[in-house]
Amino acid sequence: MRANLGYLVSRYPSISHTFILREVLELRRLGLRVEVASINGPDREKSELTAEEGSEAKKTFYVKAAGVSGALRAHLAVAVRNPLGYVRAMAFAARLGGTDVRKMLMSSFYFAEAVLVAEWMRSLGLSHLHVHFATPAATVGLIATKVFPFTFSITVHGPDEFYDAPGYLLREKIAAADLLCAIGLFARSQLMKLSDSSQWSKIEVTPLGVDTGLFQPHPAAGGTGIFEVLCVGRLVPAKGQHVLLAAVAQLRAKGRKLRLRLVGDGPDRQSLQLEVRRLRIEDSVIFEGAVNQDRIRDLYATADIFALASFAEGIPVVLMEAMAMAIPCVSTWITGIPELIRDSVDGLLVAPSDIDGLAAAIARLMDDDQLRERLGAAGRRRVVDKYNLRQNVARLAEVFDTHSAAAKLEVAA
């Protein structure tokens, strides 16, 4: 019998985490039961969701949408049905809050949400709770496991969780989880660093992936005489878009004709727009805003190359998407990215914050059609071989099934 899962995420569907939706759908296709709970509602209005996202939204349990009345009903039901578990979870949440007033307040909110999640799990007969990202949603999940005896796992992406391990209670989550899924070797190494070697056996490497049938090579762009550079990602400091703008300005100053399309939105948008004006490259940068998955491939199809100047990453799915479409990529030699892109084999890697190096890498690709073709083809092969959605979700399903079977044997014993 296949695993029976509750998936808990912070926000679902989310334009920046479409890979979670793809993973859920593929797990279901493989025969696993997967129900989804989301702490927050979708990141767009219903009218802006794709048909697929809209369908998922209708099936999703939204924790905060339950409101005060829903929370009170759930808390009353759990307190009556399982008073020991209710008190145990409350005491655990209180310990997490400690004596810091803000942490105490947040822990009380997490406890309130955890009871809703636990009651949702019980009502659906779900036996295992899985959370993407070891952030506050995982704290809610951790507290929920104290209410009812279901097993618990986390997919850890990084790098945020690793940069603030105490704030995210990462050591506590590693110790409490029955299973830890690391998206790559870098993520696994950080989990190992934060845990005793006796806990390493519950860490599994389960890479993400993209649909290589959906993301396929596109006809060569051209005809405008302007070299198209694409960057997809939230407009946040960690993505290094200011460095990318500086590289574009440097190339423009040397007489290069290129256009950068920034796809995504976020808190850095205003500062990036101001920087574009300061650098006087308004005619070379287009802010596309957030784009749904049903349109994103059209933008990939216009690109000559893909550039991601990040300072911090896990293993970016956007790089996998570009590589699957045989678009040569330039990125930074940080954290998990070298697991995906081998420098000068599957793409080009430069040091983070290196404006000159990034500009030189872009110029190298502009000047060498054969290099672009070779790296694009190699990037496609790399994703098909190592980051194929169906292949990697099948691996994840095996991990869940093995864990589920082991948990049942333990209960039987």
165 pLDDT higher than 90: yes
> 239, 247, 231, 238: which is closest to 327 by C-alpha?
231
- With both helix axes pointing from N to C terminus, report the angle between 101-124 and 83-97 in degrees, rounded to the nearest 10: 150
Q: How far apart are CA 202 and CA 279, in angstroms?
A: 50
Using one digit for the tens of pLDDT, what is the confidence trace for 175-214? 999 999 999 999 999 999 999 999 999 999 999 999 999 9
- Percent of the chain at pLDDT above 90? 92
Residue 223: per-residue pLDDT:
59
Is the pLDDT reported for residue 1 higher than 70?
A: no
* pLDDT over 60 (residue 337): yes
pLDDT computed for residue 3 by the predictor? 84
The token pair that represents 163 in the structure block: 């940069």
Examine the domain organization and report whether 185 and 140 are in the same domain.
yes
Same domain, 397 and 382: no
Higher pLDDT: 124 or 225? It is 124
Confidence tier at 99 by pLDDT (50, 70, 90): confident
| End-to-end CA separation in angstroms for the chain | 18
Radius of gyration, alpha carbons of the chain: 23
Contact 204, 180 (CB under 8 A): yes
Number of domains in the chain: 2
The C-alpha atoms of residue 2 and residue 127 are separated, in whole angstroms, by: 11
Average of pLDDT values for 314-326?
98
- Looking at the structure, tell me whether residues 174 and 294 fall in a common domain: no
**Same domain flag for 161 and 251:** no
Degrees, nearest 5: CA angle 123-129-131: 130
- 353 in a structural domain: yes
Same domain, residue pair 393 and 381 = no
For residues 116-127, average pLDDT: 97
Q: Is 394 found in the same domain as 353?
A: no
In contact, 7 and 35? CB cutoff 8 Å: yes
d(CA 78, CA 119): 7
- The domain of 122 spans 4-209+389-412
Q: What is the pLDDT of residues 69-86, one digit of tens each?
A: 999 999 999 999 999 999
- Same structural domain, 321 and 405: no
- Of 394, 387, 258, nearest in space to 319 by CA: 387
- Same domain for 378 and 394, yes or no, is no
How would residue 225 be classed by pLDDT, with cut points 50, 70 and 90? confident
Residues 39 and 179 in one domain: yes
pLDDT grade for 290, boundaries at 50, 70 and 90: very high
Name, in order, each residue with C-beta under 8 angstroms of 330's C-beta and a sequence gap of 6 or more: 305, 306, 307, 308, 347, 348, 349, 350, 358, 361, 362, 365
- Smallest CA-to-CA distance from 231 within 303, 279, 282, 297 is with 303
Evaluate whether residue 62 is within a structural domain: yes
In a domain, 217, yes or no: no
Is residue 24 predicted with pLDDT exceeding 60?
yes
Assign 2 a pLDDT band (cuts: 50, 70, 90). Answer: confident
Q: Give the pLDDT of residue 98.
A: 87
Q: What is the pTM of this model?
A: 0.94
Secondary structure (DSSP) of 110-179: HHHHHHHHHHHHHHHT--EEEEESSSHHHHHHHHHTTTS--EEEEEE--SHHHHTTTTTTHHHHHHH-SE
**Cβ proximity of 33 and 127 under 8 Å:** no
The answer to whether residue 276 scores a pLDDT higher than 60 is: yes
| Residue 125 and residue 40 share a domain | yes
SS3 381: helix
pLDDT (average), residues 5-25: 97
pLDDT number for residue 220: 65
Whole-number average pLDDT of the chain? 95
Least confident of 38-47, 75-84, 289-298: 289-298
DSSP 210: B
Q: Is the pLDDT of residue 413 over 60?
A: no
Residues 235, 114 share a domain: no
What's the pLDDT score for residue 219?
75
Structural domain contains residue 149: yes
Whether 221 shows a pLDDT value over 80: the answer reads no
CA-based nearest residue to 365, from 382, 352, 350, 353? 350
Q: Structure tokens of 170?
A: 């990462």
CATH code of 129's domain: 3.40.50.2000
Same domain, 377 and 394: no
pLDDT at 37 over 90: yes
Write down the residue that tokens 């999640």 correspond to.
117
